[in-house]
Structures are given as C-alpha cells and as structure tokens.
Amino acid sequence: MKPYLAAFISFSLIVMTTLSNTTSAQTRRQAVDLLVLGGTIVTMDQTRRVIEDGGIAVSGGRIIAVGPRAEIEGRYSSRQRFNATGKVITPGLINGHTHIPMVLFRGLADDLDLQEWLTKYIFPAEAKNVTEEFVRVGTRLGLAEMIRGGTTTYCDMYYFEDAIADETAKAGVRGVLGETIIDFPVADNKTNAEGMAYVEKFVARWKGHDLIVAAIAPHAPYTVSEEHLKAVRAFSDRTGAPIVTHISETKRELDDSIKAKGASPVAYLDRIGFLNSRVIAAHMVWPQGSDIAILKSRGVGVVHNPQSNMKLASGVAPVPKMLTEKILVGLGTDGAASNNDLNMWEEMDTVAKLHKVFSGDPKVISAQEAFELATIRGAEALHLEKEIGSLETGKRADLLVIDRDTLNQIPLYNVYSDLVYATKASDVESVIINGRIVMRNRRLLTLNETTIKADARAFRDKIIKSLTTSASP
Ligand SMILES: [Zn+2]
C-alpha cells in the first residue's frame, strides 16, 4: 500500500470513529428543556447538599436531575443552556403571607398599632379604592417586585382573588391564593353567601393548574363568626382547598378571645373543629398553654412575619420554640402596607437577628435555619413540600441564579451566611419558575415594568383624593 493511501484510510477511520462516537453520545444523552450548568447549587434537600460546579436538568416544568456538572452534561442535552458559572443557584423563595395588591397602599399610614392602622386607615382606604382594576394593577406591581427579589411562590389573601390568580398565572409565578371571607361587606362580595359562591367558582376554575392553588381565606377568628368558620372548613373538606387565615396576631386578639370565648384563638378554633393540615395560619405571635401542641397535632402551617410584627409592635412570635416542637413554620412579608416591601431577603435577615436579640442567644436561629424558613420549611408551612422548596429530582423547577460578583458578597466563606446576612434582592440575576425563565440577567420577561410603574403611580393620586374627600364631609 502506498503511504499516502494508508494515511488516507487511517484518517477516514478516525473521522468515522469520531462521528460514530458523537452520534452515540448524542443518542445516549436525553434531550431536556433546559440545562443550568456551573455554579454552586444550594439544594436544601434532606441532607442540605451543596454542590460545587453543579448542574440541573429541567423538563416539563420539573427537575429531572441535580448533580455535578460533568455528570449532568454527560447524561442530558438541551438547546437551552444556562451558564451559571461563578453564581449561586438556590430554590426560589417562598413568601408565606401577603396581601399583594396592598403594595398600592405602601407608606399610606405607618407607625401605628394594628387596630388603629386597620380601622382608621386601611379598612376605609380599601372601602373607597378596591376594585378589580386596583387589584390587577397592585398585583402586577407586587409580582414584578417579587420576581426581582427571587420570590417564586407566594401565599396571598385579598379580594378579587380570581383576578390576582389571573395576573399571577400570566406572569408565570406560583401562588396559593385565598379569596377573603369576612363578616362585613367588602369590595367584591357584600354578604357571606356571595363570598362563598365566589370561592366555589374560583376554586373550581383553577383546579389542577400548574401554578395556581386556589384557597379560601377567612380573615381571622375575630372577623368571621363560628358558623361561617365551620362552613369554611366544610368547604375545604369537600374541595381540598387550603385555608389561609390570620391567627393570634396581637395581645388584644388573645385577650378579647379569652373574654368572649373563654379560650385562646387557637384553642377556640380547635374546639369548633376548624384546624387541620390544610390550614395556613399567619402570625401566631401569642400562642398560649397547649396551643403549640394543638398546632402540632393538627398539622397546621404557621407563617411568621417578623418585620410586620415589629412594625405594628404586635410582639415576637415564639419561633425558636415552634421549631423545637417541629411545628411547620415558614416566613412571610405580610402586605406591603405593614412592612413596607415584599422582600424575603430582608425577612430572612430579620428573623435571624430578631430572635437572637429577643432571646439573648445568638445561636437561637442560624443562617441556615433562616434560609430554610424561606425555602423548604416555607414549603412545609404551605403544605407544598412535595412540590417545591428544594432542588431535587421530581420537584417543580423553581430556582434562582444569584450574582456572586457584587461588592456586598465578596469574599464568600459560608454560603448560608452570605445568603442570609449579605445577599440583597438586587443580587438575584435570573429566576426560573416551573421551568420557565421569568427573569434573565435582571430583565423581566413576563411583565412590562414601565407600564406597571405608570399604572401604580396613577392609583396613588386616586387614593389620596379619595381619602381627602372623606376627611372633609
Ligand atoms: Zn396579613
């Protein structure tokens, strides 16, 4: 054989072998919708695995695999690849308690206690201003703020909740959304019968939706009668809808309950058969006696709102004790009128520091525990821990890519310490919810920020006018 011919044959063999290797590698690798590759993955799984140079494969809105980058790249291929090298990847944050359209009342009345704030300012402002349009505009503003701050799931209670669900689904955000039931006429429903009919349709409409869990939200045991609370529980038993409510927020609520019902709010609700593992209870600042044992035995989810409780001087919820007793505890902002933002990074920082100073023990809530409250424990409090709260195979693909190159995060020693005490909402770079990218490199992809700001500012003028008119009859 002539040398050049031998060289040609061996070259052809190499090309063919390479081609066939590539083809077999491609056929071996499973095609998925999205690959997130590189970076430090904070999984929040059972062993709290943190993977350096990790990878996540996403398909059909769910996480198909999480592991070292090389392993994920070897097993999966995708046209959509997200390079997260040098970043931190975490589960999306869970805001366990909001009244999202109340962002339009942000800063309207501050520095008051709950009773004065509610009765003199918030209830009158709501009576004059809350319409479906108000709710939609406020919801879009709140959604944009939450996406920018890395919140991928929120639990809400307000009026026109069907419109809130509609805006939330359009923005691609996950929500447990509760239509308010309260014993006085409100913007969307004038009677309890109207409220219950609304909820019936609302829950049926969103059944089985990928993002929206429609819920029923009796405002509180002091604003909803025993008869109506029992009807709420019966509705929830029949439909499976979660029950979102406020329980034991202030000392006054506790004292009034003992006076009127001879029991704390928790004991009273248990006595009438209201509590179960579909209940999500915001606040729980004043549990008494056997209340914590009741919450545990009924499987009630509790949402702690440290900044709102501090601002309204409602008190300090016994969160360390609830954690020791293995109560399902999550974290929330409450409405922006009592906070005044929807920023879960601030809430994590506050929860750790508030309980340290209150107990005199700096070890009482660690940075990792604070991060758990906003992720996996938050999911447990919403009874959604099988679906969200950690980055694990089979769960919904709700995740954040966090910039690690901002001044406030340099250098990095401990990832939880960094996330809880140093990371800011503005460090969130990209957000993926149910496998869909809703913010990429700080650009919102599902909402128009310019329009949202203009619409919200227009409402400010209307609200001021409505309150001035009422002040001078
Ligand atoms: Zn609230």
Query: What separation in Å is there between the alpha carbon of 140 and the centre of ligand 1?
Result: 19
Query: What separation in Å is there between the alpha carbon of 44 and the centre of ligand 1?
Result: 27
pLDDT number for residue 91? 99
Percentage of the residues of the chain whose pLDDT score is greater than 90: 87
pLDDT number for residue 113? 85
Query: What separation in Å is there between the alpha carbon of 97 and the centre of ligand 1?
Result: 6
Point out the least confidently predicted range of 149-158, 300-309, 455-464: 455-464
Query: What separation in Å is there between the alpha carbon of 360 and the centre of ligand 1?
Result: 28
pLDDT number for residue 115? 85
pLDDT number for residue 11? 47
Query: What separation in Å is there between the alpha carbon of 117 and the centre of ligand 1?
Result: 13
What Rg do the C-alpha atoms of the chain give, in angstroms? 25
Angstrom CA distances, 259 to 118, 219, 249, stand at 22, 20, 16
Q: Which of 285, 339, 340, 335 lies closest to 315, judged by CA? A: 285
pLDDT number for residue 15? 44
Query: What separation in Å is there between the alpha carbon of 57 and the centre of ligand 1?
Result: 37
pLDDT number for residue 30? 97
Query: What separation in Å is there between the alpha carbon of 282 and the centre of ligand 1?
Result: 7
pLDDT number for residue 20? 44
Point out the least confidently predicted range of 67-71, 334-338, 413-417: 334-338
Residue 16: is its pLDDT beyond 70?
Answer: no
Query: What separation in Å is there between the alpha carbon of 16 and the centre of ligand 1?
Result: 66
Average pLDDT over residues 382-389: 98
Query: What separation in Å is there between the alpha carbon of 1 and the centre of ligand 1?
Result: 87
- pLDDT tens per residue, range 230-280: 999 999 999 999 999 999 999 999 999 999 999 999 999 999 999 999 999
Query: What separation in Å is there between the alpha carbon of 78 and the centre of ligand 1?
Result: 42
pLDDT number for residue 472? 39
Query: What separation in Å is there between the alpha carbon of 98 and the centre of ligand 1?
Result: 6
- pLDDT tens per residue, range 290-334: 999 999 999 999 999 999 999 999 999 999 999 999 999 999 999
Query: Angle, to 10 degrees, between the axis of helix 226-239 and the axis of helix 192-206?
Result: 20
Query: What separation in Å is there between the alpha carbon of 2 and the centre of ligand 1?
Result: 86
Query: What separation in Å is there between the alpha carbon of 99 and the centre of ligand 1?
Result: 6
C-alpha 428/C-alpha 442 separation (Å) is 7
* Residues sharing a CB contact under 8 Å with residue 66, sequence separation 6 or more, in sequence order: 41, 43, 51, 54, 55, 56, 57, 72, 391, 392, 393
pLDDT number for residue 132? 97
Query: What separation in Å is there between the alpha carbon of 80 and the centre of ligand 1?
Result: 39
Indicate the pTM of the whole model.
0.93
27 falls in which pLDDT band (50, 70, 90)? low
Residue 389: is its pLDDT beyond 60?
Answer: yes
Tell me the DSSP string of 286-305. ---TTHHHHHHHHT-EEEE-
pLDDT number for residue 13? 46
114 falls in which pLDDT band (50, 70, 90)? confident
pLDDT number for residue 123? 85
Query: What separation in Å is there between the alpha carbon of 142 and the centre of ligand 1?
Result: 15
Kindly report the average pLDDT of the chain as a whole number.
93
- pLDDT tens per residue, range 418-445: 999 999 999 999 999 999 999 999 999 9
- pLDDT tens per residue, range 169-196: 999 999 999 999 999 999 999 999 999 9
- Looking at per-residue confidence, does 464 or 307 come out higher? 307
Exposure string over 215-235, b if 16+ CB within 10 A, otherwise e = bbbbbbbbbbeeebbebbbeb
Residue 28: is its pLDDT beyond 90?
Answer: no
Query: What separation in Å is there between the alpha carbon of 331 and the centre of ligand 1?
Result: 12
Angstrom CA distances, 195 to 35, 107, 216, 352, stand at 44, 29, 10, 38
pLDDT number for residue 251? 96
Q: Which of 134, 80, 118, 26 lies closest to 455, judged by CA? A: 134
